[in-house]
Structure 1
Amino acid sequence: MPSLRHQLLATVIPKVRRSRELENEPVERARVEAWHRTLEPGLPTRAVPRFGQRWDVRVEDIGFPSYVLTPRGRRATRTLYYVHGGAFMAPIDPVHVRYATRLADAIGARIVLPTYPLAPEHTWADSHDALVADAGRWAGEEGGVVLAGDSAGGGLALAIAVAMRDRGLTPATHLVMHAPWVDLTTSTPETRAVDAIDPWLFFGKLQAYALWWAGSSDDLGRPEVSPALAELAGLPRAMVLYGTRDLLHPGCRLLVRRAAEAGWDLTAIEEPDLIHVYGILPFAPEARRAFRQVVAFVDGGVLR
């Protein structure tokens, strides 16, 4: 049963985020584009205690900004390449930076945070090659790269891993996905039923944002957009964490089934009644448990 803190988050987060169903696509497109025009450049670090004292930040131009965070006071032995979520239309959030810095501290890593261009102004084609090349470059550095992401970013992380394999690049040592959006075709019929119990995500928006990111309905099923439908054999060891009160969980289950069929080493943690990206949300005991599980997975320990 979910903790009281998790239940509180399930109530508060949708209200704070002003989550609601799509009115109509043109209105939503205009709203998002107007919001994008107000966004300030830079990395949101206010949720990270003593950020400026603990991290050196360098910005690399890979066609868009990619932030490289190097820890002060300890040696980085590997790289955490973290791809943020936000339905492909929202920018990197303080929660993402907070989670990435905590995880990097725990596994002894530097961090790379690419801020890919957002839909609806952009599609997958505007960032895919750059992300693959950038992750592949870091995979060749000492200690290799842990590829991770949440929601849309979790799907992007998987798409990057697929492309790295197909292009013969050095693979990631591990792949970690929190409630990844991996099937933008919404081929899983259970998704409509889950719409009734998910307090945060909405089916109409899911369809609109998917089409924005794909660019056309013909591209919805391609591996760069819906990596759960790609060939999955030969990918790095991976972990997926998701709850069942999440509109994306049927797609996660599809990924788990297809991984088993392909013989891909994918550890799946399914948590009953937990909401979207529960594993990166602050304060709840379920998130603390997920954090321990991820660290143990990456460091080769025992999952608890």
Structure 2
Amino acid sequence: MSFRARLLFFIVRISGLKNYLLKPGIAEKFIARDHARGHAKPGSWLQKHCDVETVDINGRPLFRLRPKENGSSLHIFYLHGGGYAFNIVSLHWHFIKKLIRRTGASVTVPIYPLSPDNKWDTSYAMVMEAFEQAVSRHGAENIVVMGDSAGGGFSLGLSQMLRNQNKALPSKLVLLSPYLDQTASDPAQLELERTDILVSVEGIKRIGSWWVKDGEEPAVFPVSPLFAPVDRLPPMLVFAGTDEMLLSDSLRLKQKGDEIDAPIELRAYDRMQHVWMLLPIPEAKRALDEIVEFLEVSEA
């Protein structure tokens, strides 16, 4: 593990951030502040080097970005993480910037409705409309759906929903520390929780309870896409860290894929934490190299 990764993980561990999703009342206040502050917007590099368009879908903003120079036919449909409850942050935009710089891709970023004020059906309706617009503009064969954490779960769930409805599928999926099971039902997660500095079993269950509609069980599709079939889906590249609780989700997804010979490739990085691919550490640079290789594009 790099020195920079050790330092960042130490800072997060001593910050006590994990407790925000453990103690009733604290998480709700944290979310209320996040929603009042609003979503982060594309930074100065993106504003300077890309044409940035903001449109409205179902009352929510959608960002479309296209590089002004050295663009490619690749289009990335990016779904941000945050437990379905927190806004997109500058760290997400910084990662999107790196994707554009390395691939020349245009990018769609839906700012989807968040829980607990909204449930999965409202968010999926907005994201489904956003994806279909992307298909009409770029062609499904040129689209890669990508997401981190809850966005990774959303990416898988969206693809399963498209398959179920016999709609056009993206060409590939990239899932970064995907959050696929709202029940945290794997016994192995109790052990992984000890090394995870951000995510907890109780936190997963609380977040899941905000995402489901009244009377629903969390172990159903699309709330927990891990429990839906993974056949007839695009090739997937999945990243996880061996010290994160959601490693279990990725391992179980990979196992399901292996049982039916589905094209799911898992890269589990030793001692890495949740969504480490977005952090300014050498391991994230290596993961980005692997993503670019998987996308099979020449560097812009």
Residue in structure 2 matched with residue 297 of structure 1 by the alignment: 294
Per the TM alignment, residue 269 of structure 1 is displaced from its structure 2 partner at its CA by 0.4
**Which among 264, 278, 282 is matched to residue 266 of structure 1?**
264
**Which among 209, 212, 220 is matched to residue 211 of structure 1?**
209
Query: Residues of 1 paired with 2:208 and 2:275: CA distance?
Result: 18
User: Per-residue displacement from partner, 1:180-228 (whole Å, max 9, x unpaired)?
Assistant: 0011122211111111111122222111011111234634122211111
1:58 paired to 2:53 = yes
Residue in structure 2 matched with residue 134 of structure 1 by the alignment: 130
User: Per-residue displacement from partner, 1:107-158 (whole Å, max 9, x unpaired)?
Assistant: 2211111111111111111111221232133234246211000000010011
Provide the secondary structure at the position in 1 that maps to 2:109: strand
- Please give the root-mean-square deviation of Cα atoms over the aligned residues, in Å: 2.0
Residue in structure 1 matched with residue 110 of structure 2 by the alignment: 114
- Does the C-alpha gap of structure 1 residues 50 and 224 become closer, same or farther in structure 2, counting only changes over 3 Å? same
Amino-acid identity (%): 25
8 Å CA contact 1:88–1:119 kept in 2: the answer is yes
Provide the secondary structure at the position in 1 that maps to 2:194: coil
Provide the secondary structure at the position in 2 that maps to 1:97: helix
8 Å CA contact 2:148–2:176 kept in 1: the answer is yes
Residue in structure 2 matched with residue 35 of structure 1 by the alignment: 33
Query: Residues of 2 paired with 1:154 and 1:37: CA distance?
Result: 21
TM-score (norm 1): 0.90
Counterpart of 2:263, as a letter, is D
Q: Which runs of 5 or more residues in structure 1 are unaligned? A: none
Query: Residues of 2 paired with 1:207 and 1:232: CA distance?
Result: 23
Residue in structure 1 matched with residue 90 of structure 2 by the alignment: 94
**Which among 121, 124, 131 is matched to residue 125 of structure 1?**
121
Counterpart of 2:52, as a letter, is V
**Which among 222, 240, 243 is matched to residue 241 of structure 2?**
243
- Does the C-alpha gap of structure 1 residues 72 and 14 become closer, same or farther in structure 2, counting only changes over 3 Å? farther
Per the TM alignment, residue 171 of structure 1 is displaced from its structure 2 partner at its CA by 1.0
Counterpart of 2:244, as a letter, is D
1:10 paired to 2:9 = yes
8 Å CA contact 2:9–2:273 kept in 1: the answer is yes
Which segment is superposed worse, 195-204 or 34-43? 34-43
Query: Residues of 1 paired with 2:72 and 2:66: CA distance?
Result: 7
Counterpart of 1:35, as a letter, is R
Count of residues paired in the alignment: 295
Provide the secondary structure at the position in 2 that maps to 1:220: coil
1:70 paired to 2:66 = yes
Residue in structure 1 matched with residue 148 of structure 2 by the alignment: 150
Per the TM alignment, residue 16 of structure 1 is displaced from its structure 2 partner at its CA by 5.8
8 Å CA contact 2:182–2:208 kept in 1: the answer is yes
8 Å CA contact 1:231–1:262 kept in 2: the answer is no
Residue in structure 2 matched with residue 178 of structure 1 by the alignment: 176
Provide the secondary structure at the position in 2 that maps to 1:146: strand
Query: Residues of 2 paired with 1:217 and 1:272: CA distance?
Result: 39
Q: Which runs of 5 or more residues in structure 2 are unaligned? A: none
8 Å CA contact 2:38–2:87 kept in 1: the answer is no
8 Å CA contact 1:136–1:171 kept in 2: the answer is no
User: Per-residue displacement from partner, 1:257-285 (whole Å, max 9, x unpaired)?
Assistant: 11111321011101121111111211x11
Counterpart of 1:13, as a letter, is V
